[in-house]
């Protein structure tokens, strides 16, 4: 939904497979597919084989997903020289920390200045 809103409801562009247009930053560093590829002789898409390179080659604004803490994100995001939007759903965290389900909340954060 965030991608569609930011791209003027481009439903044709939204037909592109979600992981290709909105990839996980840490996908490749977390998983090593080399052994599986050798055994199964299959070809994986670039957003799986090298997610960081795939993201750097995306045209225009990039939409990425990450589970990294802020201090591990690229320096340009940390120092505010690049604009970033942060969307988080804290419902899982609230459930695990309090033991009671609460109404899900979305937090929006936009940073383009030094903090």
Domain borders along the chain are 1-68, 73-115
pLDDT at 108 over 60: no
Tokens linked to 48: 């799986």
Confidence category of residue 90, pLDDT binned at 50, 70, 90: low
pTM recorded for the entire structure: 0.55
Average pLDDT over residues 28-34: 71
Q: How far is CA 63 from CA 21, 56, 101, in A?
A: 7, 11, 29
Q: Which residues are part of the catalytic machinery? A: 67
First to last CA, the chain: 28
Q: Which residue has the higher pLDDT, 49 or 101?
A: 49
Kindly report the number of other CB atoms within 10 A of residue 54's CB atom: 21
pLDDT at 15 over 60: yes
> How far from the centroid of its chain's Cα atoms is residue 2's Cα?
11
What pLDDT is recorded for position 38? 62
What pLDDT is recorded for position 91? 55
pLDDT at 104 over 70: no
Mean pLDDT of the residues in the chain: 69
């Amino acid at each position: 939904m965030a991608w569609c809103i930011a791209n003027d409801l481009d439903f044709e562009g939204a037909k592109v497979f979600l992981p290709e247009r909105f990839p996980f930053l840490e996908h490749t560093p977390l998983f090593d597919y080399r052994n599986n590829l050798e055994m199964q002789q299959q070809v994986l898409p670039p957003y799986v084989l090298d997610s960081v390179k795939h993201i750097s080659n995306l045209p225009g604004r990039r939409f990425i997903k990450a589970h990294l803490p802020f201090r591990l994100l690229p320096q340009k995001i940390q120092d505010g020289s690049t604009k970033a939007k942060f969307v988080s759903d804290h419902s899982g965290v609230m459930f695990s920390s309090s033991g009671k389900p609460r109404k899900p909340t979305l937090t929006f954060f936009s940073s383009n200045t030094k903090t």
